[in-house]
Amino acid sequence: MGYLFTSESVSEGHPDKVADQISDALLDEFLRQDKESKVAAETLVTTGLVVLSGEVKTNGYVPVQNIARRVIDRIGYTKSEYMFDSGSCGVISAIHEQSEDINRGVEREDEDSQGAGDQGMMFGYACTETVEYMPFPLHLSHLLLVELAAIRREQKEMTYLRPDSKSQVTLEYGDDNKPVRVHTIVISTQHDEFDEEKTMLDQIKADVKNILIPRVKAKLSAEEASLIDEEYILHVNPTGKFVIGGPHGDTGLTGRKIIVDTYGGKGAHGGGAFSGKDSSKVDRSAAYASRHIAKNMVAAGVAEEVLVQVAYAIGVAEPVGLFVNTYGTSKVDLTDGEIAAKINTIFDMRPAAIVKRFGLKNPIFEPTAAYGHVGRAPYTDKVIVKENGVDVEKEVEFFTWEKLDFIDQIKTAFGL
């Protein structure tokens, strides 16, 4: 008998994601001003108010209130009836300087021996369920909300949409752990006032089924789209009216959507959040590096499903351990321990090496703060950075940890 597995996502307008995006926008601006900035930015959003806090060490100056308002405006909180809008909300900053006790263990004269910014364990995961090497329930959950946000911005259909929304996908798997069909989709979306509640519920459900779902299926591969048959269960705004939402409906905090940010409950999670942290914090950089390893291993054919764990001691450059689990899907005649030992010789997991490998001193983090830090397509874009006090246009790569650039090395090492 098969089983059901569920993952969820939240939109860029969800209060916790608003907080994440502000924190990462602050990080980007500090890095734009000074690439050596050390940042741990935390944000709280609630009715009419944004509170910025955390620790920073930088030679740059950042107008933090302006950055917060820009992000809120981009997300779509631009109307006073939302009770939280970019033009009128208060912004309070309590950001202070980073502790020297922490900094002394991180910065070294020899950059390559830079210590980890904290202790802890980080996980990366990949599987063959989608072309992005991501679990399908989470991939579909993200895509539903990406398309819902696109519809909202187009203002051609579903013009009642507001920024806050959530999705959830339950997938049926067979005994062989392969996806069989989408069992249930849940969509909850904030909306404008309607004159009549039943009319509202009927219209939103019809629009989700007839507008949103077809647009999403068109973005999937043929094999993935076939998993959404005519028999799936659809719940839309199951509690009814959803006019009050966003930071007015629920206080948001940085770092509260760590499963949405990663693998939707598949694999494992070390507990550390990502947004607002510069790359000296291995919570972020080593989690990206672990995903990079897992994705390249699956793409190289080592296994159909891979979990990678790396762990650090604060102030120590070399990881204290590397663990690999292939869930019995390995295609090579080696134990998981032997696979881990080989992987350890291919990838340099010292913090400074990770930063160099992925270009993590560039201002590339705001786009990561909604719809997942992993499973995204790498791309190149131009950014403005300050060099010797002058603004310079620079081409940088985003989502570099998603690149399949170690397949050949892995195949050679494993004789594939």
* CATH number of residue 359's parent domain: 3.30.300.10
**Domain match, 289 and 207 both:** no
Query: Is position 241 annotated in a ligand binding site?
Result: yes
Average confidence score pLDDT of the chain:
94
Question: Within a domain: residue 64?
Answer: no
pLDDT at 117 > cutoff 60: yes
Q: Are 148 and 11 in contact (CB under 8 A)?
A: yes
pLDDT for the residue numbered 197: 80
Does the CA dihedral 312-318-323-324 come out positive or negative? positive
Query: Is position 114 annotated in a ligand binding site?
Result: no
| Tens-place pLDDT, residues 367-390 | 999 999 999 999 999 999 998 888
Query: Is position 17 annotated in a ligand binding site?
Result: no
**Domain match, 409 and 304 both:** yes
pLDDT for the residue numbered 114: 81
Query: Is position 16 annotated in a ligand binding site?
Result: yes
Residue 289's φ and ψ, nearest 5 degrees, are -65, -35
Query: Is position 242 annotated in a ligand binding site?
Result: yes
Query: Is position 257 annotated in a ligand binding site?
Result: yes
pLDDT band at 115; cut points 50, 70, 90: confident
pLDDT for the residue numbered 269: 96
> In terms of pLDDT, which residue wins out, 197 or 375?
375
**Domain match, 294 and 409 both:** yes
Bridge partners (DSSP) of residue 57 are: 38
Of 273, 268, 248, 266, give the one whose Cα is nearest residue 365.
273
What is Dmax (Cα atoms) for the chain?
A: 67
Average pLDDT for residues 347-352, to the nearest whole number? 96
Could you give the CA distance from residue 414 to residue 416 in angstroms, rounded to a whole number? 6
Write down which residue in 245, 263, 293 finishes a domain. 245
Query: Is position 256 annotated in a ligand binding site?
Result: yes
Question: Within a domain: residue 195?
Answer: yes
Question: Within a domain: residue 67?
Answer: no
Of 101, 116, 130, give the one whose Cα is nearest residue 266.
130
pTM score of the predicted model? 0.95
Residue type (1 letter), 80: S
Query: Is position 331 annotated in a ligand binding site?
Result: no
Query: Is position 164 annotated in a ligand binding site?
Result: yes
Query: Is position 277 annotated in a ligand binding site?
Result: yes
Write down which residue in 245, 274, 293 finishes a domain. 245
| 218: alpha, beta or left? (left if phi > 0; alpha if psi -120 to 50) | alpha
| Tens-place pLDDT, residues 26-83 | 999 999 999 999 999 999 999 999 999 999 999 989 999 999 999 999 999 999 999 9
Of 310, 368, 391, 337, give the one whose Cα is nearest residue 60.
391
Query: Is position 398 annotated in a ligand binding site?
Result: no
Query: Is position 14 annotated in a ligand binding site?
Result: yes
Q: Into how many domains does the chain fold?
A: 2
Could you give the CA distance from residue 14 to residue 19 in angstroms, rounded to a whole number? 9
Residues 6+ apart with CB under 8 A from 234: 184, 185, 186, 187, 205, 208, 209, 213
Domain boundaries, position 218: 3-9+136-245
